[in-house]
């Protein structure tokens, strides 16, 4: 089945999906994006993703490309035309096409692209084995809360992880872990407390992160939002990463340090289960 993309008002075959060379996203990374999971053909946490998109647009003073109800129609249509059951929906809004010049253009309309991608979910063994993390300096700008398409440090960090045989790199500022290059970072301390960094300009406030906090509260688990150091992460009982497409993925090694017994911990697996139940129920929209 061939893929279909939405590009500025038209549904086109994915291979023909093009934007202009003077799109400001292409030239300045002057744009924002969202990634939402699609499970069983249904979008997960659609409203929170759209709320965050609105916030990112507001922060950068980019106009919304269309009203939310219309955008939802486009999103569903992309899912439908791609017959997407398990995967992700990618949405990108840039400040539009204009003659190259740094200041905001006067008359450019925001440009919208929506694409879909199929993904397989990891099997039980991969989940139980967990993933390896390396730690790297956080060299990003000071507004990591905005989901901009300017991802060069994240790209370089992820590549560094892959070259080190790791799945993800945790970025570190002043000795404290901020977040992964495309995921939020979590630990469970030796006292059994779930810890993730508080939302601020230093991290992207993950939609999955927010859902996990809600689920943890509902399940009566002990949790706190605060910074943690690399050293604390290496001494943690358990660790995991979260994102729209990795859900709750156990971490079993941080740099050279094996976490726990080198297998996914029970706290993490419980949260993953709770998250999976959420995606099968209230987290999914028709």
Q: What is the 3-state secondary structure (H, E, C) of 199-263?
A: CCCCCCCCHHHHHHHHHHHHCCCCEEECCCEHHHHHCCCEEEEEECCCEEEEEEEECCEECCCCC
- The stretch among 8-16, 83-91, 124-132, 239-247 that binds ligand PLP (CB under 6 A) is 239-247
Q: Which stretch binds ligand PLP (CB under 6 A): 69-77, 78-86, 126-134, 242-250?
A: 242-250
Specify the pairing of strand 238-243 against strand 184-188: antiparallel
Query: Which has the closest alpha carbon to 284: 228, 229, 244?
Result: 244
With a CB cutoff of 8 Å and minimum separation 6, the contacts of 281 are none
> Residues 20 to 49: which contact ligand PLP by CB under 6 A?
35
- Regarding 243 and contact with ligand PLP (CB under 6 A), the answer is yes
The closest alpha carbon to 93, from 108, 78, 110, 107, belongs to: 110
When the beta carbons of 82 and 184 are compared against ligand PLP, the nearer one is 184
Number of amino acids touching ligand PLP (CB under 6 A): 14
Does residue 152 come out as left (phi exceeding 0), alpha (psi in the -120 to 50 range) or beta? alpha
Out of 209, 221, 268, 275, name the contact with ligand PLP by CB under 6 A. Answer: 209
Asked if 182 interacts with ligand PLP (CB under 6 A), we say yes
Q: Name the one range near ligand PLP by CB under 6 A: 2-10, 111-119, 162-170, 199-207.
A: 199-207
Segment interacting with ligand PLP (CB under 6 A) among 92-100, 161-169, 178-186, 190-198 = 178-186
Cβ-closest position to ligand PLP: 206
Beta bridge partners of 4: 13
With binding defined as CB under 6 A, does residue 133 bind ligand PLP?
Answer: no
249 binds ligand PLP (CB under 6 A): no
Shortest Å distance, C-beta 222 to ligand PLP: 22
- Asked whether the CA dihedral 204, 41, 57, 141 is positive or negative, the reply is positive
Let me know: does 131 contact 166? Beta carbons within 8 Å: yes
CB of 48 to ligand PLP, least distance (A): 8
Identified binder of ligand PLP from the candidate list 30, 138, 168, 179, rule CB under 6 A: 179
Is residue 168 part of the contact set for ligand PLP (CB under 6 A)?
no
Q: Kindly name the residue from 106, 147, 214, 222 that is annotated as catalytic.
A: 147
Q: Which is nearer to ligand PLP, 108 or 284 (CB)?
A: 284
For the record, the structure tokens of 216 come out as: 């943890």
115 versus 243: smaller Cβ distance to ligand PLP: 243
Among 8, 56, 94, 184, binds ligand PLP (CB under 6 A): 184
- Please tell me the number of Cα atoms within 13 Å of 161 on its side-chain side: 24
DSSP 148: B
Strands 10-13 and 31-39 come out as unpaired
Closer CB to ligand PLP, 30 or 179, in the complex = 179
The SS3 call for residue 169 is strand
Count other Cβ atoms within 10 Å, centred on residue 83. Answer: 12
132 is catalytic: no
Q: Which residues are catalytic?
A: 147
Binding site residues, ligand PLP, CB under 6 A: 35, 154, 179, 182-184, 204, 206-209, 242-244
């Amino acid at each position: 089945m061939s893929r279909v993309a939405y590009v500025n008002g038209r549904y086109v075959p994915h291979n023909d999906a093009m934007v202009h060379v003077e799109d400001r996203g292409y030239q300045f990374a002057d744009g924002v994006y969202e990634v939402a999971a699609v499970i069983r053909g249904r979008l997960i946490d659609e409203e929170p993703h759209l709320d965050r998109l609105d916030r990112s647009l507001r922060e950068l003073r980019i106009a919304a490309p269309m009203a939310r109800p219309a955008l939802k129609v486009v999103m569903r249509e992309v899912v439908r035309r791609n017959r997407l059951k398990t995967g992700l929906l990618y949405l990108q809004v840039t400040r539009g096409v204009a003659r190259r010049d740094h200041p905001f253009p006067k008359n450019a309309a925001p440009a919208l692209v929506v694409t879909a991608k199929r993904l397989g979910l990891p099997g039980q063994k991969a989940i139980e084995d967990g993933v390896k993390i390396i730690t790297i300096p956080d060299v990003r700008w000071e507004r990591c809360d905005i989901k901009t398409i300017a991802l060069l440090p994240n790209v370089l960090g992820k590549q560094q992880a892959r070259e080190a045989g790791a799945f993800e790199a945790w970025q570190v500022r002043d000795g404290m872990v901020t977040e992964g290059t495309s995921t939020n970072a979590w630990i469970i301390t030796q006292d059994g407390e779930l810890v993730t960094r508080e939302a601020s300009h230093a991290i992207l406030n993950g939609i999955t992160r927010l859902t996990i906090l809600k689920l943890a509260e509902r399940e009566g688990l002990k949790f706190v939002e605060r910074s943690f150091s690399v050293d604390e992460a290496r001494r943690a009982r358990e660790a995991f990463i979260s994102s729209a497409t990795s859900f709750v993925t156990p971490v079993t090694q941080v740099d050279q340090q094996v976490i726990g017994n080198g297998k996914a911990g029970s706290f993490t697996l419980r949260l993953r289960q709770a998250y999976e139940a959420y995606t099968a129920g209230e987290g999914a929209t028709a």
